[in-house]
Amino acid sequence: MREQRIDLAPDHDLSRVPDGVGGLSRREFLRYCTGVALTLGLAPVAGLRIAEAAGNPARRPSVIWLHGQECTGPTETLLRAEHPRLERLILDMISLDYHETLAAAAGHQVEAAKHAAMEANAGKYLLVVEGSVPTKDGGIYCKIANKPVLQHVQEAAEHAAAIVAFGSCAAWGGVQSAGPNPTGAKGIKDILPGKTVVNIPGCPPNPYNFLATVLHYVTFGTLPALDEGNRPKFAYGRLIHENCERRPHFDAGRFALEFGDEGHRQGWCLYKLGCKGPMTYANCPSILFNDLGAGTWPIGIGHPCFGCVEQGVGFTRGVFQLSDVLTHAPPNAFPPIADRQEHSSATVGAAALIGGAVGVALGAAAMAAKKAKPDAEPSP
C-alpha cells in the first residue's frame, strides 16, 4: 500500500460522530480520537475524521490475527489497553474474525471460520501477525492445525490489504532469532518478499501504537509514514534518550551504579547499568504503558531500557554493555546533531565536535569525565 498525503480539509461534521462508541460517551470518544491524532503527529482536527471513521460500522476492517513463536505478549498488552479496551476495539472499531488465542471455537471449526473470513474479505482484510516464523527444516518447529505457521502466514498474506507485524518477534525475529537461532526464526518481512509489512516492534509492543496505526488505516485508507525498518515514524522517530525523564541526570553526570544504591533510589540516570535508551528509537517515554496518563514504563520504575524495539540491540547486546551515545546535545535546546541514518563513529564524532563548537556539549563533556574517572561519582 502506497503512502499518500493526508487531506485534513475540515469537511467534518460533528453530527456524523456517533454516540456511545465502545461504551464511551461521545465526549470521551472524541477526546480519545483527538489523542490518537496527536499520537500520529497530526493536527487535533484530524481527530474528528478519525472519530467519524472509527464510529462508522461500514468501515470496520476485517482482521485475521495469527500467532507464531512467541509468548503471546502482544495480545496480552492489547488486553490491558484501557483506552479503549480490546473488547471495545473488537466490537466497535475492527471486526476480529480470527484470533487463535481469543477464539471460542477450536480445531476444524475455527480453521473453517478463518478461511471463510479470508474468502469473504479477500483483498480487504488486515493481517496481523505476532511471533516469529521458524524457517529451518521446512518450518516444522511451529505448527498450527498440522501446518507450519510459515504456510499459514504466506497463505493469509496472499489476499491481505495490509500486513502488520506486531511485536519484536514478528518484526525481526525477536528472542528466538538470537544466536544460535536453532529454528531459523525470522520476522514476517523476511518471509514475505515484495509485500509491505508494517513493523510495530516491542517486547511487549505498545498497544497504542497498534491502535493508532489501525485507526490511521481505517480513517485515511493508507498506512502511516514508515522509516527504513518499516516502523511508523510517529512512534519510532525519536530516541528514548531525548525524551527520558532521567535525561537531566545524564547531562549532569549523575548515574546509578548498582541496583538499589542511593543514586538508583534517587532516580538518577541508568546509563551505567546498561540502559540502551541512547541508541533506541521509540515513543515509550511519551505514551507510557498500562494506561495513558496514569501509566508507567521500564525506565520510570528503575529498569534500564534493553532496546527491545531495535534489531541488533535487544536480545543481542549484553544487558550491562554500555550503550553507544548517538546524540550528545541536551534535548529541546538545539536541533538534533545526528539522525538515525548517520550512526557511523565518524558522524558521531563530528556531531560531538559541532556540539562542542557551539558550546552545548556539556553533557558529553560530563560523560567523558565520568567515564575517565568512574570513581569520581558525586555522592548522593
Rounded CA gap, 272 and 322, in Å?
Answer: 7
Q: Please report whether residue 326 would count as binding ligand SF4 according to CB under 6 A.
A: no
Residue 247 or 328 having the CB closest to ligand SF4: 247
Selected binder of ligand SF4 within 64, 191, 270, 338 (CB under 6 A): 270
Window contacting ligand SF4 (CB under 6 A); options: 19-27, 91-99, 257-265, 268-276:
268-276
Window contacting ligand SF4 (CB under 6 A); options: 18-26, 28-36, 67-75, 272-280:
272-280
Side chain identity at residue 109, one-letter code: Q
Window contacting ligand SF4 (CB under 6 A); options: 77-85, 188-196, 197-205, 236-244:
236-244
Q: How far is the CB of 351 from ligand SF4 (least distance, A)?
A: 16
Q: Please report whether residue 99 would count as binding ligand SF4 according to CB under 6 A.
A: no
DSSP state of 236: H
**Minimal CB distance to ligand SF4: which residue?**
277
Q: Please report whether residue 185 would count as binding ligand SF4 according to CB under 6 A.
A: no
Selected binder of ligand SF4 within 129, 133, 282, 299 (CB under 6 A): 299
Cβ-Cβ contacts under 8 Å for 2 (sequence gap 6 or more)? 222
Q: Please report whether residue 281 would count as binding ligand SF4 according to CB under 6 A.
A: no
Q: How far is the CB of 333 from ligand SF4 (least distance, A)?
A: 15
Side chain identity at residue 92, one-letter code: D
Window contacting ligand SF4 (CB under 6 A); options: 26-34, 204-212, 213-221, 274-282:
274-282
Give the residue among 70, 86, 87 at the shortest CA–CA distance from 78: 86
Contacts 24+ apart (CB under 8 A), 330-339: 330/247, 330/248, 330/251, 330/360, 330/362, 330/363, 331/242, 331/243, 331/247, 333/360, 334/358, 334/360, 336/242
Window contacting ligand SF4 (CB under 6 A); options: 70-78, 111-119, 241-249, 333-341:
241-249
Q: Please report whether residue 254 would count as binding ligand SF4 according to CB under 6 A.
A: no
Selected binder of ligand SF4 within 30, 275, 287, 364 (CB under 6 A): 275
C-alpha cell at 222: 493508507
Rounded CA gap, 335 and 362, in Å?
Answer: 15
C-alpha cell at 50: 478519525
CB 219 within 8 A of CB 49: yes
Q: Please report whether residue 241 would count as binding ligand SF4 according to CB under 6 A.
A: yes
Q: How far is the CB of 231 from ligand SF4 (least distance, A)?
A: 19
Window contacting ligand SF4 (CB under 6 A); options: 66-74, 125-133, 204-212, 263-271:
263-271
Give the residue among 74, 305, 117, 309 at the shortest CA–CA distance from 211: 74
Q: How far is the CB of 59 from ligand SF4 (least distance, A)?
A: 39
- Alpha helix positions (H), the chain: 26-39, 46-54, 73-79, 86-92, 107-120, 149-157, 168-172, 188-191, 207-220, 233-236, 240-243, 247-252, 262-265, 284-287, 345-357, 362-372
3-state secondary structure of 343: coil
Question: How far from each other are the two terminal CA atoms of the chain, in whole angstroms?
Answer: 54
Selected binder of ligand SF4 within 247, 317, 328, 370 (CB under 6 A): 247
Q: How far is the CB of 364 from ligand SF4 (least distance, A)?
A: 13
CB 258 within 8 A of CB 213: no
Q: Please report whether residue 231 would count as binding ligand SF4 according to CB under 6 A.
A: no
Q: Which parts of this chain interact with ligand SF4 (CB under 6 A)?
A: 240-241, 244, 246-247, 250, 269-271, 275, 277-278, 299, 305
